[in-house]
Structure 1
Amino acid sequence: MASQDITQRFLFENADVRGEMVSADQSYREILAKHDYPEPVKALLGEMLAAAVLLSTTIKFDGLLILQAKSEGPLSTLMVECSSDQAVRGIARYADDLQEGNLTELMPDGVLAITIDPANGQRYQGIVSLEGGSLAAALDGYFANSEQLPTRFRLQADGRIARGFLLQALPADRQLDPEDRAATWQHLNVLADTLTAEELIGLDNATVLHRLFHQEDLRLFDAQVVRFECSCSAERSSNALVSLGKDDLLALLQEQGGRIEVDCQFCNARYEYDADAIEALFSAVDEHARQLH
């Protein structure tokens, strides 16, 4: 399959079911390039990346979706942020002695948080246990238990490319009979379950959909671009320091030998501040306050 970073929706014309497929290549590699992750972490972070993009397409919002798994195990954190226009960044935290293992082994008794942080409006968060042996199974369970539309995930990543596949039932429109809707949902899921990991990783979207659903009346929409983008900036770094207060910041400056370094965990960008820079920050704050009055 050609290198690509896209997410692409498809719709069954005669059924109340939609789907989405995501492929992350360059964006996935850019995330991995920032840290020297072990192979199991690379794979799970890729699955998390694909899942976050898929989730972002199921919700109408303008802002940020944050998918984060936490545990007390050797893999303590997996986190991916995906904006409403599919800009992504991600990070993992793990023990130095981490060994090979699946999600359950590396993140025992873990929890998965799905957070929607809209540009305008109230922040929302849903939490589910990391059960079922895989991230896809945990997400299936989240939708099954949260009274949302039935949803199925397939996720695959190998440290080179991350792929995701989603089927989701829609509110009754084309099929009004509940038994017909249930039968169609089961039929499409049986077909989707025949997709192998090798096919999901190796085939383009159109080929996968033809392989699975060539007897169905299906519409494939235009692809949307997925890209790596870190939202850190000098301005955000400065605002975080100002929030500490001038006295505490000057004390920290002295402790750090006259220079404060703020590192972005996602992209490894570094923002440095000396005494003159600190004074300039608070002079700007004072000037802004005077203008308001």
Structure 2
Amino acid sequence: MLKIGCHLSISKGFKAIGNEALKIHANTFQFFTRNPRGSKAKEIDPNDTEALRMLMKENQFARILAHAPYTLNPCSPEEKTREFAIQVMADDLVRMEYLPNNLYNFHPGSHGGQGAEVGIHQIIVQLNTLLKPEQTTTVLLETMAGKGTEVGRTFEELRQILDGVILSERIGVCMDTCHINDAGYDIINDLDGVLDSFDKIIGLERLYAIHLNDSLNSKGSHKDRHAKIGEGSIGLKAITQIINHPKLRHLPFFLETPNDISGYAQEIALLRDAYKE
């Protein structure tokens, strides 16, 4: 069965978002833990999270994916920004335990001219400060497009971070199809080669989720502009190969395309038709 969902807002509560996912025939979803451009987080209602857990169990949902706010930058040159990143992620990981055994994704950040090595070290320090043996959440580094001074534009940079994390069983990777296309990986003509490279450098066992997005830009553009499925440079044929690939098809896929809820419903229907059971 295809495990697919999209990005939904938790403003109405967790059970409501679960019901919204069901209405569009999704069996997982992604959500922001708090305001994506700020720091404010909605108070957790334990009864609401328990209701979502029951809904997910009854409907055989895949693991859901929480996304950290874009303002989180653990490798900023500014100490205040790095401290903010620690505070936000620490709070998010506590909150995630109301929905145990799920996934938490974040952008590794931008080093702001310090250099990738310095940025990678700062990310490792934050993760080693925050990750705890008792947590059930798996934290994911997102593959990035490489615009500006982003860290995580190559598999090698992500590998360096993973190598520095002490609790390796609590850390993994979320692959974004738009991002790796824009970073220069040829997922259109050489998906097998890209996955072989990922496996050699990182290990496919560290890949927990995929952001399934088309791209408005060509391979290697380093732009990071998402497009609707089949309406960008990656195209429906390549995306169909991704969801059906024997090394990927078991993973949960999360749409982050520029859509409203009806648009997401259409994309999910399109991809379910393209998935080979």
Query: TM-score when scaled to structure 2?
Result: 0.28
More strand by percentage: 1
Greater relative contact order: 1 or 2 (C-alpha under 8 angstroms, separation 6 or more)?
1
Which of the two has higher C-alpha Rg?
1
What's the TM-score, normalizing by structure 1?
A: 0.27
